[in-house]
Amino acid sequence: MLSLVQFSLYTQIREGEVMKKVIKVFGNLLFIIAVFILLIGLMTSLSSKSEKVYDVIKYRSYVIVTPSMKPTINPGDMIFVKKTDADKLEKGDIITFNKDNIVATHRIEEISDDSIITKGDNNNLEDTPINKSDVIGKFVFSIPKIGYIISFAISPIGLVTMGSIIVFIFIYDFIFREKKQK
CATH classification of the domain holding 108: 2.10.109.10
Nearest CA to 98 out of 114, 123, 118 is that of 118
Same domain, 68 and 110: yes
Same domain, 162 and 124: no
Same domain, 139 and 67: yes
Same domain, 104 and 83: yes
Q: What CA–CA distance (Å, rounded) separates 72 from 120?
A: 10
Instruction: Report how many domains make up the chain.
Output: 2
Same domain, 81 and 158: no
In eight-state DSSP terms, residue 126 is: P
Same domain, 159 and 103: no
Same domain, 103 and 155: no
Same domain, 140 and 152: no
Same domain, 111 and 41: no
Q: What is the pLDDT along the chain (182 residues), one digit of tens a residue?
A: 455 555 565 665 665 666 677 777 887 887 787 777 777 766 666 655 555 444 556 788 888 999 999 999 999 998 989 989 999 999 999 999 999 989 999 999 999 999 999 999 999 999 999 999 999 999 999 999 988 888 887 788 988 887 888 888 788 777 776 666 66
Domain boundaries, position 82: 58-144
64 neighbors 73 (Cβ within 8 angstroms): yes
Q: What CA–CA distance (Å, rounded) separates 134 from 177?
A: 55
107 neighbors 92 (Cβ within 8 angstroms): yes
Instruction: Work out the number of other CB atoms within 10 angstroms of the CB of residue 153.
Output: 23
Q: What CA–CA distance (Å, rounded) separates 60 from 64?
A: 13
